[in-house]
């Protein structure tokens, strides 16, 4: 028996003893306290679902009502029942708060008091879109590599933990955060799969993102990039400012439409977002809130489906239906998703194909487009670095294929440095759960069954790994920057078996578009645009939100 059960047992025995000498009303109140303590004790033994709690609560109230019916008048019953419910909940939450703060296995790690007793602390921070900055500030103020950000959630900022948490052979599994992404459904897709399911699905995906496959997708990327540059030329020829981030979003969505559903979404051409993009951008924020309190997602199974989410699913279903007859004849990601896993011989069902194509579009679009905007922002905010990049790219006259892009070291350094400072997935994801026996790294023991995670934003701005961490210094990636410099702390695409499968495609898109924009235009902040507000306007909602980036583009002769 653990400390909690011993303490609770003692308290219950003492209360029962004193109840024998009390008047009946006090006995009812005492029973409510006892029921609350017993509920908490049961919580400790079993992992209850919210629906179980709701059921137990209704059953208790029904039982209470039947019992009271025989004891007192109708008005008296309602008042007494309300009073007993209040006593029950106050006792339950007090007991839970005391336990979490003083007895819980994560109690020794520093963190805000509210975070130690409730997940709603994190919910409010996520709601404000400030999770990445708040957690970084917590590490700084507590001077601790490990901070408590929820009753059983720890945030870690130390490079030595990356391998044990995320690397090959890790004993950690994906944390409860990912259960939230199910939103009441039982259909799993790559990202929220259990380890067994993830293994065969990931092999299919890996085949779709190896270097041979990426080369096959390159003509699609180059074509859509050409379309983007032409459109930008037309839109800016009279010197009008443009929100370039919006067009980057159209670009990445068009690519994902092309590679994931067999046909571009045609957003660059029309200059308008389709319903899917609007829904997804609203949905990611909502999703990040639900995932912060994963049991909320179970509740959604009981609510009528949101028509917008239904619309998104119908949209994906229609696209997949149109794409299916082409089979494996097209050089796109969908072709790979249609193939069977070479080891298990398993294949995706039609429903799973719809879910994966949707996930592909969500995972591959806003991440890449917010990165593109961020890179442009840092270039314009640092004219000397921008000039250096121009000097590298302008003399080059050939096509911007991956073979040539690899020859632009400064371009690659600029991209990495921008992603270091503002990673599109700052801290909202990447939660893992420690094995039941816990995990010890460098003599520090992380308790078992605890949600742990390392946020890219905080670790990539840690002065122990990057000298002058808040400054944009691409040179550090070329061995010419300030010390220290630790590549291992670069966590933009996560690490290990669950890391970003689309990383190479993302790099191809980033290199291609940035090289294209730098070669085709001279770019500057639009007059009146408050460049200083860019970093703060990026909110962390799983994928960071797209900030408004108003620029003037002048086509180069």
With respect to ligand HEM, which residue has the nearer C-beta, 40 or 431?
A: 431
Distances in whole angstroms, Cα of residue 228 to Cα of each of 216, 394, 442: 20, 19, 49
Virtual CA dihedral for 398, 404, 409, 412, nearest 10 degrees?
Answer: 100
Q: In what order do the strands lie in the sheet with 451-453?
A: 146-150, 153-156, 451-453, 431-433, 173-174
| Residue from the set 424, 428, 447, 469 that interacts with ligand HEM by CB under 6 A | 424
Toward ligand HEM, which CB reaches closer, 39 or 367? 367
- Contacting range for ligand HEM; rule: CB under 6 A; set: 141-149, 441-449, 494-502, 529-537: 494-502
Nearer to ligand HEM, 104 or 416 (CB): 416
Q: How far apart (Å, rounded) are the C-alpha atoms in residues 13 and 7?
A: 10
Contact 174, 498 (CB under 8 A): yes
Tell me whether residue 10 is exposed, middle or buried, using C-beta atoms within 10 angstroms of its C-beta: 0 to 12, 13 to 18, 19 or more: exposed
**Closer CB to ligand HEM, residue 147 or residue 454?**
454
Of the pair 117, 360, the CB lying nearest ligand HEM is at 360
What mask of x and - would describe binding to ligand HEM in positions 381 to 420, judged by CB under 6 A?
----------------------------------------
Q: Which residue has the tokens 């977002």?
A: 273
- The verdict on 363 binding ligand HEM (CB under 6 A) reads yes
Give the footprint of ligand HEM on residues 158-197 (CB under 6 A). Answer: 190-191
Which residue sits closest to ligand HEM, CB atoms considered?
502
**Cβ at position 277, least distance to ligand HEM in Å:** 15
**Minimum gap (Å) between residue 202 Cβ and ligand HEM:** 5
Q: How far is the CB of 108 from ligand HEM (least distance, A)?
A: 27
Give the shortest CB-496-to-ligand HEM separation in angstroms: 9
Q: Which of left, alpha, beta for 347 (phi over 0: left; psi -120 to 50: alpha)? A: beta
Among 64, 204, 249, 360, binds ligand HEM (CB under 6 A): 360
Residues numbered 496 to 555 that lie near ligand HEM (CB under 6 A) are 498-502, 505-506
CB of 548 to ligand HEM, least distance (A): 19
Residues of span 115-154 touching ligand HEM by CB under 6 A: none
Shortest spacing between CB 189 and ligand HEM, in angstroms: 9
Cα(68)–Cα(473) distance, integer angstroms: 72
Q: Would you say 500 is a known binding-site residue?
A: yes
Query: Closest Cα partner for 508 from 190, 263, 225?
Result: 225
Could you give the angle at the alpha carbon of 514 between the alpha carbons of 513 and 520, nearest 5°?
Answer: 85
Of the pair 33, 190, the CB lying nearest ligand HEM is at 190
Query: Measured from the CB atom, is 39 or 288 closer to ligand HEM?
Result: 288
User: CB-wise, 26 or 185, nearer to ligand HEM?
Assistant: 185
By CB under 6 A, residue 284 contacts ligand HEM: no
Binding flag, residue 429, ligand HEM (CB under 6 A):
yes
Distances (CA, A) of 169 to 159, 162, 166, 178, 345: 17, 12, 8, 20, 24
Quote the least distance from Cβ 438 to ligand HEM, whole Å: 21
Q: Which stretch binds ligand HEM (CB under 6 A): 84-92, 236-244, 400-408, 421-429?
A: 421-429
Nearer to ligand HEM, 105 or 171 (CB): 171
526-535: list long-range contacts, CB under 8 Å, 24+ apart. 526/241, 526/550, 526/551, 526/552, 527/241, 527/552, 529/241, 531/377, 531/380, 531/381, 534/377, 534/381, 535/421, 535/422
> Residue 194's CB: how many other CB atoms inside 10 A?
11
Minimum distance of ligand HEM from residue 154's CB (angstroms): 16
Q: Which of 494, 514, 516, 549 binds ligand HEM (CB under 6 A)?
A: 494
Q: How far is the CB of 505 from ligand HEM (least distance, A)?
A: 5
Q: What angle do CA 50, 51, 54 make, to 5 degrees?
A: 90
* DSSP designation for 466: B
CA-based nearest residue to 110, from 132, 143, 136, 159 = 143
Report the distance separating Cα 328 and Cα 63, nearest Å. 61
3-class state of residue 388 by DSSP: helix
When the beta carbons of 29 and 427 are compared against ligand HEM, the nearer one is 427
Question: Please, are residues 315 and 276 in contact by the beta-carbon 8 Å criterion?
Answer: yes
Q: Which of residues 190-209 bind ligand HEM (CB under 6 A)?
A: 190-191, 202
Distance CA(221)–CA(268), nearest Å, equals 13
Which range, of 295-303, 362-370, 382-390, 435-443, touches ligand HEM by CB under 6 A?
Answer: 362-370
Residue from 364, 426, 428, 455 binding ligand HEM (CB under 6 A): 364
Q: Contact 518/389 with Cβ under 8 angstroms? A: yes
Q: Which residues contact 33 (CB under 8 A, 6 or more apart)?
A: 15, 87, 88, 91
Q: Which stretch binds ligand HEM (CB under 6 A): 94-102, 210-218, 364-372, 533-541?
A: 364-372
Site size with ligand HEM, rule: CB under 6 A: 24
Single residue of 109, 253, 493, 529 touching ligand HEM by CB under 6 A: 493
Rounded CA-CA distance 116/149 in Å is 7
Which of 106, 292, 371, 460 lies at the binding interface for ligand HEM (CB under 6 A)? Answer: 371
Tell me the β-bridge partners of 543. Answer: 541
* Annotated binding-site ranges for heme: 500
Residues that bind ligand HEM (CB under 6 A): 190-191, 202, 359-360, 363-364, 367-368, 371, 424-425, 429-430, 492-494, 498-502, 505-506
* Annotated binding-site ranges: 500
């Amino acid at each position: 028996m653990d400390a909690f059960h011993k303490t609770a047992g003692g308290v219950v025995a003492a209360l029962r003893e004193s109840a024998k000498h009390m008047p009946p009303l006090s006995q009812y109140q005492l029973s409510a306290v006892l029921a609350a303590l017993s509920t908490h004790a049961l919580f400790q033994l079993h992992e209850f679902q919210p629906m179980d709690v709701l059921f137990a609560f209704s059953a208790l109230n029904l039982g209470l009502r039947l019992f009271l019916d025989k004891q007192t008048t109708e008005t008296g019953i309602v008042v007494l029942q309300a009073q007993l419910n209040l006593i029950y909940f106050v006792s339950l939450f007090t007991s839970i708060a005391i336990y979490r703060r003083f007895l819980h296995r994560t109690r020794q790690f520093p963190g805000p008091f509210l975070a130690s007793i409730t997940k709603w602390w994190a919910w409010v921070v996520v709601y404000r879109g400030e999770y990445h900055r708040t957690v970084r500030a917590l590490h700084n103020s507590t001077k601790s590599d490990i901070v408590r950000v929820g009753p059983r959630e720890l945030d870690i900022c130390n490079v030595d933990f990356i391998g044990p948490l995320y690397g090959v052979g890790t004993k950690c599994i994906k944390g409860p955060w990912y259960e939230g992404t199910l939103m009441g459904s039982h259909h799993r897709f790559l990202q929220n799969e259990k380890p067994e399911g993830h293994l065969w699905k990931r092999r299919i995906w890996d085949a779709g993102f190896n270097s041979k496959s990426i080369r096959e997708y390159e003509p699609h990327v180059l074509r859509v990039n050409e379309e983007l540059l032409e459109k930008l030329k037309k839109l800016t020829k009279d010197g009008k400012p443009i929100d370039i981030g919006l067009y980057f979003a159209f670009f990445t969505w068009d690519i994902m439409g092309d590679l994931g559903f067999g046909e571009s979404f045609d957003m660059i051409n029309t200059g308008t977002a389709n319903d899917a993009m609007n829904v997804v951008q609203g949905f990611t924020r909502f999703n990040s809130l639900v995932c912060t309190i994963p049991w909320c997602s179970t509740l959604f199974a009981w609510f009528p489906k949101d028509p917008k989410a239904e619309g998104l699913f119908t949209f994906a279903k229609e696209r997949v239906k149109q794409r299916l007859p082409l089979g494996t004849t097209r050089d796109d990601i969908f072709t790979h998703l249609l193939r069977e896993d070479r080891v298990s011989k398993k294949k995706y069902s039609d429903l799973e194909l719809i879910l994966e194509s949707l996930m592909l579009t969500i995972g591959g679009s806003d991440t890449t487009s917010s990165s593109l905007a961020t890179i442009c922002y840092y270039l314009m905010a640092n004219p000397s670095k921008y000039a250096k990049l121009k000097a590298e790219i302008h003399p080059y006259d050939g096509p911007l294929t991956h073979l040539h892009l690899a020859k632009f070291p400064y371009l690659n350094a600029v991209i990495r440095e921008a992603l270091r400072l503002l990673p599109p997935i700052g801290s909202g994801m990447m939660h893992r759960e420690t094995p039941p026996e816990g995990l010890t790294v460098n003599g520090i023991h992380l308790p078992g069954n605890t949600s742990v995670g390392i946020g890219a934003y905080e670790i990539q701005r840690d002065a122990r790994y990057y000298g002058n961490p808040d400054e944009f210094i691409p040179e550090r990636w070329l061995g010419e920057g300030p010390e220290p410099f630790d590549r291992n702390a670069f966590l933009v695409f996560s690490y290990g078996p669950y890391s970003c499968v689309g990383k190479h495609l993302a790099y191809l898109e980033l290199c291609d578009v940035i090289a294209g924009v730098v070669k085709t235009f001279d770019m500057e902040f639009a007059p009146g645009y408050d460049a200083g507000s860019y970093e703060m306007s990026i909110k962390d909602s799983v994928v960071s939100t797209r900030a408004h980036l108003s620029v003037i583009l002048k086509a180069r002769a």
